[in-house]
Amino acid sequence: MKPEIILALVTTFASLFTMYLAYNTGMTRAAHKAPPYEPTKNKEVLLANRVHMNMVENMVVYLPLLWVAGIFGPIYIVSIVSVIWLISRVWYSFGYLKGPKNRQTPFMIGLACIAVTALLALFGMIV
C-alpha cells in the first residue's frame, strides 16, 4: 500500500473515531440524564467527555504534523509512526473509559509518536 494512502487512512479513521467518541459522550449523557452544556458530577459522563476532548486536542496537534512530515519527511517512516499513533489513541481512549489509571502507557506512546513526527517534519523541511 502506498504510504500516502496510509496517511489518508489514519486521518480518516482518526476523524471517524473522534465522531464515535462524540456519539459515545452523547449516549452516556442520555443514559445518565445529564443534559449537554450543563455541569454534571457523574463520573461516566465526565470520563466520556474527557476522552472525546483528549482525542480532539491530540488531532489538532498531530494531523498537521502528520501531513507536513508526509510531504517533506521520509514518508515510509511517517506512515508507520502514524499507524502507531492511531493505535495508541484508540488504546488510550478505551483504557481511559475503564478508568484514568489505564491511560499512562498509550499516552506515552502517542506522545512519542507526536515528537517523532514533529522531528521528521522538521528534518524533512531543513534537509
Give the pLDDT confidence of 44-87 residue by residue, as tens digits.
Answer: 999 999 999 999 999 999 999 999 999 999 999 999 999 999 99
pLDDT at 37 over 80: no
**pLDDT value of residue 121:** 97
* pTM, 2 dp: 0.94
Three cell numbers, residue 93:
481512549
Q: Are 89 and 109 in contact (CB under 8 A)?
A: no
Go through the domains of the chain in sequence order and give each one's CATH number: 3-126 (1.20.120.550)
Query: Which range has the worst mean pLDDT, 6-20, 51-65, 90-104?
Result: 90-104
Taken in order 50, 56, 60, 66, the sign of the CA dihedral is positive
In this prediction, residue 100 carries a pLDDT of 79
